[in-house]
Structure 1
């Protein structure tokens, strides 16, 4: 019997952090106006008031870095980290490695809530209208899927996936219906492109709400790492060790729905990130959430920055919706994972 040796945890974290830094730099450098790496870092260091670079660049190039590309790269990192962390938490909560915010209908629920706001121009809550509507849709979808999967017996992998896929299809059809029947072609076109996922037009004003939600949510999940680890051993084992499984699971569902709803509100529906990356992280650092969650956040950030760079570079000057790229990579991974589980 062979024993799989894992890399040192600090080395894995350092590698993932370096990947985030490298991907972020590439994301700022690349674009219709190419910029040298040294100039990009010079601008960033100058803005941080570090006397390490003399300002030899023009004001236009500084604006491109600080107000156009940097906010987009940061939002990619936030969204990628949030999706990866939420996927890992969902897989523990439902004890199913196939769980994913998109496969379980959570992203589709958030999409319906957000499309309602966009199509009908609901603004009575100001800047919070879109995030709150997306959160409500995500939470209701998650509750519906979980209830359908548990109805008539215990929760099983097949029932959960079937309930999630069916719910996601219905909700996606509902969102499409809202767009098709919209009387405003401009709003309908914007909502349709948003549904496919994308981070174009990101500004600094868009960052603080998803950043706060992801940081707060990840911090809470790190604080409940032990209960999440207990759930991996089974509901009975977790209950015997003093965990109120149903109350804990309900609270975590609300938290995950808040995070996903906020993410969907700014990025649209981006699938499979929360399915693929948690598995990669577990292979490298194990299933202990105290170690796995920070690694998943870093890997998710690096992955989505790289995916966004590919989305705007492959057919430049046109931009591919990032949700299409993640589906192209995530679909085969999902099929491989199902075959692997079936072989076991």
Structure 2
């Protein structure tokens, strides 16, 4: 299994030399990347506000956001476009942040938010809710069912960790593979036995990941778990640095490896469940974004985690904006854009790293 390149431990770190310049490059690059990502996120949000059947220039978009007047333009922006933008940023930031955590916990650059099976659990809950008709009867029906599915898988994962205190990361990955396979079988049965073809199509559409018709209700449902969860993960950046160096190093650094891993995976699972519940299964955000950011600024999680969250929000917002632009003539889902863009980008990153 491919492992992440880890920063040198204090015991093996080279002695201070006469040239400290390389040590200053990563923070400087991180500062530039953070500033550029925040600026790009603001510009992307304005672009998304102005895009659609009702076209708005930059000035009109800003005025509609900061000074709504109750007219048609303000209604379209505040009722349709802004909720979708906020959900895209929340989901993108959540998936990228969780991707950072998973790649550190499993010491594998190919780990992503779905490696533990939490996304698949959310998919089972959502598909069950759709095929049972909850989407048409309850506004929160499908998101709540998806979050319940992700929570159930998170609890199973925690039970496995509690029962096997010495379980390695390889064991956890195999547990995730088993959960994903089991969830895939359940989803196939639910879709095949849907009593209405429209419900089956709705389930398949949800599984591909999309942000169409998202409202402030969806944004409110995701905001609490995502923001609180990311804040908790931000307080564990030193533990992530220690785990990246290996369990033995983390233990000698004073961390209870089992407890630390349990807390990190539980919080990451809840954040993933909240994100997937309102967006469907969207791939490559939690895989590509942390990997790309790490290549630029290194593996120090105090910088890597927050910058990856901003870049993840930007990535998904741009993907959703592109999906909206393409949907004028054909139906293109946000998840499909992420896969089409993310797959070749990730392949290019892997090849460039291998050549380096």
Shorter chain as denominator, the TM-score bin is: 0.7 to 0.9
- 1:64 & 1:19 partners in 2: Cα distance? 23
Following TM superposition, by how much is the alpha carbon of 1:131 offset from its aligned partner in structure 2, in angstroms?
4.7
Following TM superposition, by how much is the alpha carbon of 1:331 offset from its aligned partner in structure 2, in angstroms?
2.7
Q: 1:242 to 1:211 in 2, by over 3 A?
A: same
Equivalence for 1:51: none
- Contact residue 108 and residue 168 of structure 1 kept, 8 A: yes
- 2:36 & 2:346 partners in 1: Cα distance? 25
Following TM superposition, by how much is the alpha carbon of 1:250 offset from its aligned partner in structure 2, in angstroms?
1.2
Structure 1: segments with no counterpart, 5+ residues: 48-54
- Contact residue 98 and residue 334 of structure 1 kept, 8 A: no
Q: 2:67 is paired with a residue of what secondary structure?
A: helix
- 1:76 & 1:173 partners in 2: Cα distance? 29
- Contact residue 92 and residue 315 of structure 2 kept, 8 A: yes
Farther off after superposition, 210-219 or 123-132: 123-132
Equivalence for 1:100: 112
1:274 aligns with 2:274: no
1:116-152 deviations in Å (ceiling 9; x for gaps): 22323569997673253232254267569989xx999
Following TM superposition, by how much is the alpha carbon of 1:340 offset from its aligned partner in structure 2, in angstroms?
6.6
Equivalence for 1:52: none
1:133 aligns with 2:148: yes
1:19 aligns with 2:40: yes
Q: 1:68 to 1:151 in 2, by over 3 A?
A: same
- 1:204 & 1:152 partners in 2: Cα distance? 43
Equivalence for 1:283: 295
- Contact residue 106 and residue 257 of structure 1 kept, 8 A: yes
Equivalence for 1:50: none
Q: 1:32 to 1:124 in 2, by over 3 A?
A: closer
Equivalence for 2:87: 75
Following TM superposition, by how much is the alpha carbon of 1:271 offset from its aligned partner in structure 2, in angstroms?
0.6
1:258 aligns with 2:270: yes
Q: 1:129 to 1:163 in 2, by over 3 A?
A: closer
- 2:345 & 2:174 partners in 1: Cα distance? 18
For residues 328-343 of structure 1, what are the structure 2 equivalents within 5 Å? 328-336=340-348
- 1:138 & 1:23 partners in 2: Cα distance? 35
Equivalence for 2:194: 182
Following TM superposition, by how much is the alpha carbon of 1:153 offset from its aligned partner in structure 2, in angstroms?
8.3
Farther off after superposition, 93-102 or 65-74: 93-102
- 1:143 & 1:68 partners in 2: Cα distance? 38
Structure 2: segments with no counterpart, 5+ residues: 1-20
Equivalence for 1:197: 209
- 2:161 & 2:296 partners in 1: Cα distance? 30
1:16-39 deviations in Å (ceiling 9; x for gaps): 101110111111111111111111
Considering only aligned residues, what root-mean-square deviation do their CA atoms show, in Å? 3.2
Farther off after superposition, 182-191 or 32-41: 182-191
Following TM superposition, by how much is the alpha carbon of 1:263 offset from its aligned partner in structure 2, in angstroms?
1.0
Q: TM-score by structure 2 length?
A: 0.82
1:211-242 deviations in Å (ceiling 9; x for gaps): 11111011001111111111011100101111
For residues 31-110 of structure 1, what are the structure 2 equivalents within 5 Å? 31-47=52-68, 59-110=71-122
Farther off after superposition, 86-95 or 118-127: 118-127
- 1:102 & 1:319 partners in 2: Cα distance? 25
Equivalence for 2:8: none
Q: 1:165 to 1:27 in 2, by over 3 A?
A: farther
Following TM superposition, by how much is the alpha carbon of 1:68 offset from its aligned partner in structure 2, in angstroms?
0.7
1:249 aligns with 2:261: yes
Q: 1:264 to 1:69 in 2, by over 3 A?
A: same
For residues 114-153 of structure 1, what are the structure 2 equivalents within 5 Å? 114-121=126-133, 129-139=144-154
Aligned length: 330
- 2:123 & 2:332 partners in 1: Cα distance? 19
